[in-house]
Structure 1
Amino acid sequence: MKIIDKLAWIEIKDKTILSTISKGKQKYYIPGGKREQGETDEQALCREIKEELNVELRKDTLQYLGTFEAQADSHAEGIIVKMTCYTADYTGALAASAEIDHFRWLSSADKDKISEVDKLIFDYLKEQDLLA
């Protein structure tokens, strides 16, 4: 079994979650990405969010939310994505950048638009009464 190690930033507003869609893709994803060699969770997540959404995460507010695993979208059966999720405050104005086409605020009613691992995260957030 192969595991794709990814990090995600959970940003919730009015019981909706910030989600992004990459250029040429069909599904929305919670923003974040893969770590580069030698990066900590904090370093990788801050770098990815700066690249994708042009905002700075406030490292002093970074809080672990949970880790979720599911079959990776558009990969062979048995390739699992492991998503380690954090919340954090940010500075700056959200703006799609790099490979991100645009972003939207989604609720649990939008689960048909997201990846398998994101569905687990949405379910968890709904159980915690953080997502509509």
Structure 2
Amino acid sequence: MKTIDKVAWLHLHEGRLLSTRSRGKDRYYIPGGKREAGETDAETLVREIKEELTVDLEVASLQHVGTFKAQAHGHPTGVNVVMICYSGHYTGTLQPAAEIEEVVWLRYQDRSLVSPVDQKIFDWLREQQLFAE
């Protein structure tokens, strides 16, 4: 069984979760990405968020929120993704860059628009009462 290792940034504002859509994709994804050889979680996240959203994460503010696993969207059955999720502060202005076409703020009601692992994260955020109703 193959596992895709990803690190993600959970950023909520006024009860909505920051999410992105890459060019040519039909789903929204929580920002972040795959680890490069030898990178720590923080290094991966800082690099990916800078590339995708042009902002700088404040490393000292990063806090592990949870780790979630599900079938990887768009991959054959049996390919799972493990998302190690962090929250943290940033500096700069959020804007789409690299392969990111759209930046959106999603509510729990938008759960059907995201990948299976993101749906698990949406459920967890709702259980924690972090989404605005």
TM-score range, shorter chain: over 0.9
1:27-67 CA-partner distances (Å, limit 9, x unpaired): 00000000101100000000000000000000010000000
Structure 2 residue aligned with 1:60: 60
Moved over 2 A (4+): none
Identity over the aligned pairs, expressed in percent?
54
Q: What 5-or-longer segments of structure 1 have no aligned partner? A: none
Q: In the alignment, what sits opposite 1:31?
A: 31
Amino acid at match of 2:49: I
CA–CA distance in structure 1, aligned partners of residues 75 and 97 of structure 2: 25
Q: Hey, what's the Cα distance between the residues in 2 that align with 1:95 and 1:111?
A: 22
Distance in 1 (CA, whole Å) between partners of 2:44 and 2:56 is 12
Letter aligned with residue 107 of structure 2: S
Per-residue deviation at 1:112?
Answer: 1.1
**What is the identity, as a one-letter code, of the residue corresponding to 1:100?**
I
TM-score by length of 2: 0.98
| Equivalent residues in 2 for 1:1-132, closer than 5 Å | 1-132=1-132
| Residue type at the aligned position of 1:118 | D
Q: TM-score, normalised by structure 1?
A: 0.99
**Residue 15 (structure 1) shift:** 0.7
3-state SS of the aligned residue for 2:97? coil
CA distance in 2: counterparts of 1:37 and 1:24, whole angstroms: 27
Q: Kindly report the root-mean-square deviation, in angstroms, between the aligned alpha carbons of the 2 structures.
A: 0.5
SS at match of 2:49: helix
Amino acid at match of 2:10: I
Report how many residues are paired: 132
1:57-98 deviation per Cα after TM superposition (whole angstroms, max 9, x unaligned): 000100000000000011000000000000000000001000
